Amino acid sequence: MAAVVLVTFAVRQSPARPARPGRAPGAGHQLSAEAAARGAAIGWVTSQVGHDIIVACDSVVCADLAQHGFPAGNLNVLGPTAPDPYGSQLVIATADIDSQFGGKLATVYAPEVIASFGTGAGRIDVRVIAPRGPAAFQSALRTGLQAQKTSGAQLLRNSKITASASARAQLAAGDVDQRLLTLIAFMAGQQPLDIVDFGSIAPGAGPSVPLRFAELAESNPHTHLSGSAYLRALLGLAHSEVAPYVPLSVGSVRLPGGQSVLRIEFAAPSPLGLQP
């Protein structure tokens, strides 16, 4: 009881949402699907979203997030009388939130989906809020894409960086998060790098959402270091940056083909306005 009371008071308060009316007896599968989508969304936000981000959500989702370790002070409960989700950076768009804000949620308040879970009435989207309106948001996206293309082109010309064909295409297209590009440029100033790939853990993300992780080869023939010493050097470089260039996670992962790579991942959402 004490833990529930603490969570209730820690989360930013708005009036509680009224309970949904009773469901038809045959709605069990729909309830299970909604619960699965909510659980997947909770897990993704807890593990992938920066814990300094203000997240708007309905009372059920906010309580679940707090119970799963997301900072309660950064959760903004959207009660039924909330006029908009402004004041937050992300909104978790459940069916209740969609119904509350209608078409304005996607067209005005939060135009970009960075992750999506479930289907139909049980679908949950994680959306980025446009604090200055959709036109300013789209302009910032275009500026960010150009900055990512510029940085990607610079990395492609860097003689200390080799990259797979897929990674080269991603860099040229401006698909990669600016924080990641900046960190890679810094690391390449100290050690030669071989980029295996870029990617994101972002199911259902929109096409303009940048890729937030890089996978680097853990050995390199162009360095004088042994494999273990080279990996330690990369780890040290990845952990030496300051905000906003501090990764969410850094560690070895094994690819389906068996290759072990160093994955450097940044938290969602990708910030707008960073320049090369």
Could you report the per-residue pLDDT of 18-67, keeping only the tens digit for each? 444 444 445 566 778 889 999 999 999 999 999 999 999 999 999 999 99
DSSP three-state, residue 30: helix
Instruction: Identify the domain boundary among 100, 131, 162.
Output: 131
Query: Model confidence at 99, in pLDDT bands (50, 70, 90)?
Result: very high
Domain that holds residue 100: 2-131
Average pLDDT over residues 157-162: 98
Average pLDDT over residues 155-161: 98
8 and 116 in one domain? yes
Q: Are 202 and 114 in contact (CB under 8 A)?
A: yes
68 and 107 in one domain? yes
Read off the pTM.
0.88
**HSE (side-chain half, CA atoms, 13 Å) at 55:** 34
Query: Model confidence at 90, in pLDDT bands (50, 70, 90)?
Result: very high
Average pLDDT over residues 174-198: 98
Cα 154 to chain center, whole Å? 25
Using the predicted structure, report yes or no on whether residue 7 has a pLDDT greater than 90: no
166 and 61 in one domain? no
155 and 223 in one domain? yes
Neighbours of 237 (CB within 10 A): 20
Residue 274 located in a structural domain: no
Predicted confidence (pLDDT) per residue in 207-226, tens digit: 999 999 999 999 999 998 99
The predicted pLDDT at position 27 comes to 54
226 and 170 in one domain? yes
186 and 113 in one domain? no
Instruction: Identify the domain boundary among 81, 106, 131.
Output: 131
143 and 66 in one domain? no
Higher pLDDT, 224 or 266: 266
Instruction: Identify the domain boundary among 68, 97, 131.
Output: 131
Average pLDDT over residues 176-190: 98
Residue 273 located in a structural domain: no
259 and 177 in one domain? yes
Q: How many domains does the chain have?
A: 2
For the chain, give the mean pLDDT.
90
Q: End-to-end CA distance of the chain: give it in Å, rounded.
A: 50
Residue 276 located in a structural domain: no
Using the predicted structure, report yes or no on whether residue 77 has a pLDDT greater than 90: yes
Using the predicted structure, report yes or no on whether residue 17 has a pLDDT greater than 80: no
Residue 71 located in a structural domain: yes
> Is omega for the bond preceding 269 within 30 degrees of 0, making it cis?
yes
123 and 102 in one domain? yes
Q: Are 260 and 253 in contact (CB under 8 A)?
A: yes
121 and 167 in one domain? no
Q: What length does the chain have?
A: 276
Using the predicted structure, report yes or no on whether residue 166 has a pLDDT greater than 50: yes
Residue 257 located in a structural domain: yes
106 and 47 in one domain? yes
Residue 270 located in a structural domain: no
The answer for residues whose C-beta is within 8 angstroms of residue 274's C-beta and 6 or more apart is 144, 147, 178, 179, 182, 244
Instruction: Give the rounded percent of residues in the chain with a pLDDT score beyond 70.
Output: 89
